[in-house]
């Protein structure tokens, strides 16, 4: 359930106060759990890729084509996981798609950059408001 405008303003004020009081602590808290999770996922994918290489080589040595194919599939799956995990990892001190205090970034013209999910949420809110919920 999305926050009301008043709750969003209060949260933004709390974030600004935290940044003003202790910016180092605020940046350390920002996205650290997600960053750790994605980093761990990338490391696991790299380890799986190495296992896939070992399977591929073992299949070649044992002359069992199915082991080599399985190794290749493991390598392919792990490569995809590593690349997607690397791209999704937030940068230290920055959240994806937002500027300071969680506000959407602005483009060069000063307008807000609105994503597809933001537009869908806005439409959903308009429909709920029109129906009287």
Cα(133)–Cα(130) distance, integer angstroms: 8
High-pLDDT (> 70) share of the chain, %: 69
**Residue 105: per-residue pLDDT:** 47
Kindly indicate the confidence band of residue 54, based on its pLDDT and cuts at 50, 70 and 90: very high
Long-range contacts of 27-33 (CB under 8 A, 24+ apart): 27/92, 27/93, 30/93, 30/94, 30/95, 31/90, 31/94, 31/95
Can you tell me the mean pLDDT for 74-91? Answer: 79
Residue identified by tokens 């590593």 is 82
For residue 28, the 8-state DSSP code is H
Q: Which two tokens stand for residue 127?
A: 């429909």
Report yes or no: 124 and 133 within 8 Å, Cβ to Cβ.
Answer: no
Kindly indicate the confidence band of residue 43, based on its pLDDT and cuts at 50, 70 and 90: confident
Report yes or no: 45 and 85 within 8 Å, Cβ to Cβ.
Answer: yes
pTM higher than 0.75 for the full model? no
């Amino acid at each position: 359930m999305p926050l009301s405008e008043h709750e969003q303003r209060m949260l933004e004020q709390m974030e600004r106060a935290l940044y003003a009081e202790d910016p180092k602590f605020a940046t350390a808290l920002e996205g650290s759990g997600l960053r750790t999770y994605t980093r761990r996922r990338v490391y696991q994918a790299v380890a799986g890729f190495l296992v896939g290489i070992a399977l591929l080589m073992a299949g070649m040595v044992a002359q069992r084509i199915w082991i080599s194919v399985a190794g290749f599939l493991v390598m392919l799956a792990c490569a995809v996981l590593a690349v997607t995990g690397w791209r999704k990892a937030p940068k230290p001190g920055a959240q994806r798609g937002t500027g300071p205090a969680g506000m959407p970034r602005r483009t060069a013209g000063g307008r807000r950059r609105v994503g597809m999910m933001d537009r869908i949420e806005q439409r959903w809110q308009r429909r709920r408001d029109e129906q009287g919920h």
